[in-house]
Every structure is written in structure tokens, then in C-alpha cells.
């Protein structure tokens, strides 16, 4: 990828000093300003081409609008829900996070809250400080032999599971993406939420906050739980509906809650915080020296790599804008292929989700993952016009991509891409890199040179039949290639083309 010039970065929160040091050592000017109001940030941001935040800085569309020079928003941490990623991406601002730096700290705090809930440690400590010695009031229960339901089995859910197993807890869980056979290897039996709720003595949530997870625990799901279930939220405020939680605590359907996060932070409504069976922290999941050092270092190194044109690790929302709607039209599939169109739709979604997602889409989970992320996917057939060739048309957020292909001698071939007809059918085998460019004599040597510099051998070159306007080209690459994705920005920058 081409280097991106970043000269001045604003760090608007308490980020580990190693972040500033690394950036400065690499020639970037750094200003630290904490506790800025929205208006302060709007007034200040125009002077910077980079911004580093944690969760407290709200990088809204208004802030992004005022950020005339901004090229990068670095989140020293995981959740980017305080950043309007769509508004940033549309403006060409890269948003990147450091998704693994605080996994262990978030998991450890979750375990701390589970243990504190079982033995009333915070309440007992407060009572001692008030001069009391009350051994009866704080009778607890063992964790041993109890069932822990983990909703969200990503990095943090996994670490919570393995730690709580060492206390003799049985761990069950649910995740729409991580396959059950994978979680089984770390001792978590997966099941539907309907099956999970009634079994749990404790429930902990480890999902992002998104439409499908907001209010995941609500009046209806609490009613399905065991009476006295205890819940923990160290993920995002709102995954457990706060009003429903208060009602469940009052009716004793919920026996206690450990909350590190709130819908509004700090919460103005103190009803939950003040409830005797609630223990709470001011969003401390990532607040350890180790997690902050990792996140501060990771975000600084990622920004430096980007400045040097090395890579875009941790970039969120690289799809030009958020995926909303994907329509797959299949024309002329023939009787036997018609039945495979569901499979082809899953394959399309793997390709589309792979670039922007922190999870790993595959043919089994891609449609579920799309649904979870609020993407509408539709599929249609019709009899096509081209004899013997089948056409696949994919429309993404209203922009269409059309491919026409066939099978020749048992090999699937591509005949046409977005109205650009190839001179020879392109065999759809091996590693192929497609790019769009205007025909010119230096095009082939410049692409060959670029691939050679990246250590990749070109095996074939397919040119379009027509020579006018933007046309699609395809190069076949040697099987030595490790990371096809890494080549895309290279070719894009060098040939000024779409890849």
C-alpha cells in the first residue's frame, strides 16, 4: 500500500505513554488533551491528521465533519462504538482498533465479578469499613458445580470459560459465529439461547452491542431463567436491558448483577448502581497496566506501519461504507446449479464480509454473520439471455457487479466481468487478482514489476477484448503466494485502479 502522511496526532484520552513515545520516535508530533467537551474537540480536530481515543471520546459525525485533515482514528482498545465508523469511512478516514490487547484484563474482571457475586465480597468489605462484623448477612454460595452461561464466545468469552472451569463450573454458551466443535475443544457446550436460559446459575455476556444483541437479556429472557440467576456485563451497556434488570432484581428473579458498563457512562440514573444486589465498576475492564501498555503500543505501531505504507492492521470498515443490502441474482443457472444457489450466496457473503469483519466468515456461518450484522441478503433466479453461460449479478448497497461464466472442459471459466468481455475465457483456478484499468502500453510491465517486487510470480494475464474506457484485467499468480489480500492495496496504488 502507498505510505500515508501523518504529521500531527491528538491523543484525547489517558493512553499509555508508550503510544506517544513510539509515535514521536517515528517523527509524528503528538498533543495530549484529555476531558475535552464536544465543542472543544470540534474546534481542535481540524489541526490534526490523526486522533487516538479510548471509549470516552465520542467521535460523532459532527466531529468527523469538522475534521478537515483527519486520515486516521486509532482506538486503543476493542469497541469502536464511540466512533461513527460509517461517517469516517465515507470521508476516507481509516478507523483502526487493537482487538486483542485487553482480552485477558476484560476476562479477569469478569471472573472477579462472578466470584464477588458468589461471596458478596464488595458488600462485606463496605460493611467492615462501616465498623460492622456481620457474618450471617453475607452467606454466599460456591461456584463449584454451578452452570455458567457465556453468551458470545469470542476471545474474551473463551478466556472466561477456561478460567471459570478451574473453579469446577460447567460452562455452556451460545455464539452465532464460533462453531460448536471449536468451543467444545475449550470445554463449552453450545446450544440455542432458548435452551441456555433455564439452565444457568450465572450468565455473562461477551458480545458487541449491535441491534441483535441490544436487550438480549430482557423481561422475556429473564422470565425463562432460573429464579435467582446472577448476571455479569463487562461487555457493553444495554446488552442486558437496564430497566428489565432492575425489575428482575426487585422481583428476585435475578439474584445479583456485576456491571462494569452502562448505557450512559457515567450513569445518571443510579437505581442499578445503588441496588444492594448490584456490584459495579466504572468501566474498568481494560484498565490494567498490562492491557493499556499493549493497546497503546499496538495502536502506535499500527499507525506507524500505515505511515510507512506497510499494512493496515486492525482497520475497521474498509468496505467503502457499511454493508446494508446484498442482492444475488442468478440467471441461466440450469437445473443442476439452481439447487446450489444458496451455497453460492454463502460464498458471496464470505468474500464480502472477510475484509471488514473481525470474525472469520466461512461457508457455514456467513449468512448468519450477515444477519447478525444487520445485512439484508436476498437471492433470485431467472432464465438468462446468454446461451450456455450462467450469469451471477451481485448488487451491494445498490451497486451491481456482474459476472458471466461457463464450464469448459470441466473447468469453470469467466467470460465477462461488469460488461468487460475477456479476450480469452479466464480459468477460475488458483490465485487470481482482478483489477480495473484503462488500457495502456506500460500497464503490463508495471503490474509485472510490482508483483515481482512483492516476490510473486505472474502465471497468466487476461486482457479485455475492448480497448476503450475502464476494463477489467486478470492476472493468475503463483501458488507461492501467502496473502493475496496484502497485494490488493499495492496494485491499487501502483496502477491507480480498482481491485
Tell me the site size for ligand HPV, rule CB under 6 A: 11
Residues 14-73 that bind ligand HPV (CB under 6 A): 54-56
Q: Is 236 a catalytic residue?
A: yes
What is the grid cell recorded at 471? 476494463
* Cell 471509549 sits on residue: 55
Contact 219, 245 (CB under 8 A): no
Q: Which stretch binds ligand HPV (CB under 6 A): 225-233, 274-282, 284-292, 470-478?
A: 284-292
For the CB of residue 310, give the shortest distance to ligand HPV in the complex, in Å: 24
The candidate with the shortest Cα–Cα distance to 257, out of 240, 269, 282, is 240
**Cα–Cα distance for residue pair 81/53, rounded to 1 Å:** 12
For the CB of residue 285, give the shortest distance to ligand HPV in the complex, in Å: 5
Contact 440, 473 (CB under 8 A): no
Q: Which of 79, 154, 356, 384 binds ligand HPV (CB under 6 A)?
A: 79
Q: Which of 50, 77, 356, 476 binds ligand HPV (CB under 6 A)?
A: 77
**Cα–Cα distance for residue pair 251/270, rounded to 1 Å:** 18
Note whether 285 binds ligand HPV by CB under 6 A.
Answer: yes
Note whether 102 binds ligand HPV by CB under 6 A.
Answer: yes
For the CB of residue 45, give the shortest distance to ligand HPV in the complex, in Å: 19
Q: For residues 196 and 232, which CB has a smaller minimum distance to ligand HPV in the complex?
A: 232
For the CB of residue 435, give the shortest distance to ligand HPV in the complex, in Å: 36
Note whether 288 binds ligand HPV by CB under 6 A.
Answer: no
Residues 293-332 that bind ligand HPV (CB under 6 A): none
Note whether 256 binds ligand HPV by CB under 6 A.
Answer: no
**Cα–Cα distance for residue pair 84/94, rounded to 1 Å:** 11
Residues 355-394 that bind ligand HPV (CB under 6 A): none
Contact 72, 50 (CB under 8 A): yes
Q: Kindly tell me the burial class for residue 129, based on how many C-beta atoms sit within 10 Å of its own C-beta (0-12, 13-18, 19 or more).
A: exposed
Contact 217, 174 (CB under 8 A): no
Note whether 208 binds ligand HPV by CB under 6 A.
Answer: no
Which of 54, 75, 155, 236 is labelled catalytic?
Answer: 236
Residue whose beta carbon is closest to ligand HPV: 77
Q: Which stretch binds ligand HPV (CB under 6 A): 83-91, 134-142, 251-259, 279-287?
A: 279-287
Give the number of C-alpha atoms closer than 13 A to the C-alpha of residue 21, restricted to the C-beta side: 7
Q: Is 275 a catalytic residue?
A: no
Which of 25, 265, 457, 459 is labelled catalytic?
Answer: 265
Regarding beta strands 50-53 and 72-75, do their DSSP bridges make them parallel or antiparallel, or are they unpaired? parallel
Q: Is 250 a catalytic residue?
A: no
What is the grid cell recorded at 133? 462484623
What is the grid cell recorded at 263? 448505557
Note whether 206 binds ligand HPV by CB under 6 A.
Answer: no
**Cα–Cα distance for residue pair 296/421, rounded to 1 Å:** 49
- Radius of gyration, CA atoms only, the chain: 26
| Residues tagged active-site | 236, 265, 283
Residues that bind ligand HPV (CB under 6 A): 54-56, 77-79, 102, 283, 285-287
Amino acid at each position: 500500500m502507498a505510505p500515508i502522511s501523518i504529521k500531527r496526532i491528538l491523543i484525547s484520552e489517558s493512553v499509555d505513554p508508550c503510544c506517544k513515545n513510539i509515535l514521536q520516535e517515528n517523527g509524528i508530533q503528538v498533543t495530549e488533551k484529555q476531558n475535552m467537551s464536544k465543542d472543544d474537540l470540534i474546534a481542535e480536530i481540524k489541526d490534526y491528521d490523526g486522533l487516538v481515543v479510548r471509549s470516552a471520546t465520542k467521535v460523532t459525525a459532527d466531529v468527523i465533519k469538522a475534521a478537515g485533515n483527519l486520515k486516521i482514528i486509532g482506538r486503543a482498545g476493542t469497541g469502536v462504538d464511540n466512533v461513527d465508523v460509517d461517517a469516517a469511512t465515507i470521508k476516507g478516514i481509516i478507523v483502526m482498533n487493537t482487538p486483542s490487547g485487553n482480552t485477558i484484563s476484560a476476562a479477569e474482571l469478569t471472573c472477579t465479578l462472578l466470584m464477588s457475586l458468589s461471596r458478596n465480597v464488595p458488600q462485606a468489605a463496605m460493611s467492615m469499613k462501616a465498623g460492622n462484623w456481620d457474618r450471617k448477612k453475607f452467606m454466599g454460595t460456591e461456584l463449584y458445580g454451578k452452570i455458567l452461561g457465556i453468551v458470545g464466545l469470542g476471545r474474551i468469552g473463551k478466556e472466561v470459560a477456561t478460567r471459570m472451569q478451574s473453579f469446577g463450573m460447567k460452562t455452556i454458551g451460545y455464539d452465532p459465529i464460533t462453531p460448536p466443535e471449536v468451543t467444545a475443544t475449550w470445554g463449552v457446550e453450545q446450544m440455542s439461547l432458548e435452551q441456555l436460559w433455564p439452565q444457568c446459575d450465572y450468565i455473562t455476556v461477551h458480545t458487541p452491542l449491535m441491534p441483535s444483541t441490544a436487550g438480549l437479556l430482557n423481561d422475556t429472557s429473564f422470565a425463562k431463567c432460573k429464579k435467582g440467576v446472577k448476571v455479569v456485563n463487562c461487555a457493553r451497556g444495554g446488552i442486558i436491558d437496564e430497566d428489565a434488570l432492575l425489575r428482575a432484581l426487585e422481583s428476585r428473579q435475578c439474584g445479583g448483577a456485576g456491571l462494569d458498563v452502562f448505557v450512559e457512562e457515567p450513569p445518571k440514573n443510579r437505581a442499578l448502581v445503588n441496588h444492594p444486589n448490584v456490584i459495579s465498576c466504572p468501566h474498568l475492564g481494560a484498565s490494567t497496566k498490562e492491557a493499556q501498555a499493549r493497546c497503546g503500543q499496538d495502536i502506535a505501531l499500527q499507525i506507524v506501519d500505515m505511515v510507512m505504507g506497510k499494512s493496515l492492521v486492525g482497520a475497521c470498515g474498509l468496505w467503502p461504507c457499511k454493508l446494508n443490502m446484498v442482492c444475488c441474482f442468478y440467471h441461466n443457472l440450469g437445473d443442476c446449479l439452481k439447487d446450489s444457489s444458496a451455497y453460492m450466496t454463502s460464498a458471496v457473503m464470505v468474500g464480502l464480509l472477510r475484509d471488514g469483519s473481525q470474525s472469520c466468515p466461512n461457508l457455514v456461518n456467513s449468512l448468519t454473520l450477515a444477519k447478525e450484522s444487520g445485512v439484508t441478503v436476498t437471492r433470485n433466479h431467472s432464465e438468462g439471455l446468454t446461451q450456455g453461460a450462467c450469469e451471477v449479478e451481485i448488487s451491494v448497497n445498490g451497486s451491481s457487479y456482474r459476472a458471466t461464466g461457463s464450464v469448459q472442459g470441466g473447468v469453470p471459466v469467466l467470460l465477462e466481468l461488469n460488461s468487460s468481455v475477456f479476450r480469452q475465457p479466464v480459468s477460475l483456478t488458483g490465485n487470481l487478482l482482478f483489477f480495473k484499468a484503462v488500457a495502456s502500453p506500460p500497464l503490463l510491465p508495471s503490474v509485472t514489476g510490482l508483483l515481482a517486487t512483492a516476490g510473486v510470480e505472474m502465471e497468466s494475464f487476461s486482457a479485455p477484448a475492448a480497448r476503450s474506457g475502464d476494463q477489467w484485467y486478470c492476472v493468475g499468480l503463483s501458488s507461492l503466494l501467502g496473502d493475496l489480500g496484502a497485494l490488493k492495496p499495492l496494485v491499487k496504488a501502483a496502477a491507480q485502479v480498482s481491485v
